Amino acid sequence: MAHPDVHTTHLTRDTTRAIFAMRQRTWPDGQAVRVFVLSNDSTVHGRFAKERLAVYPHQLQLAWDRMVFSGTGQAPTRVYSQVEMRGRIASTPGALGYLEREYLDDSVQVVTME
């Protein structure tokens, strides 16, 4: 899901993986993307990483750590609940994150992925 002002409504798995791995820092239209994730021990985070990105959560963490320690990038912003995730996405231009369906509302837009 994304901030309501994001113009992209569909992403490929490869693009989504690149964004969440922090290798791609902009939306396809050039707008800066701000990535939000739940903690590594969250079942929602684990399911998202494995089912949607086809990677394990520890692989994402390794990629983020490498970029942070080498000075070539930064890790995504970590949030502590799906309610916080929805609030941060709704209030941060260019934001991207993930939620279970029951947490979706009109404050965020759904971005589909193939």
69: CATH: 3.40.190.10
Residue 114 has pLDDT above 90, yes or no: no
Residue 23 has pLDDT above 90, yes or no: yes
Task: Give the number of domains in the chain.
Answer: 1
Nearest to 93 by CA among 21, 9, 15, 3: 3
CB 36 within 8 A of CB 88: yes
Residue 103 lies in a domain: yes
pTM above 0.85, yes or no: yes
- Boundaries of domain holding 36: 10-113
Residue 30 DSSP symbol: S
CA distances for 94 relative to 1, 43, 55, 87, angstroms: 11, 25, 24, 13
Residue 1 lies in a domain: no
Residue 42 lies in a domain: yes
Residue 39 lies in a domain: yes
Residue 41 lies in a domain: yes
Tens digit of each residue's pLDDT (9 = 90 or more) over 46-102? 999 999 999 999 999 999 999 999 999 899 999 999 999 999 999 999 999 999 999
Residue 22 has pLDDT above 90, yes or no: yes
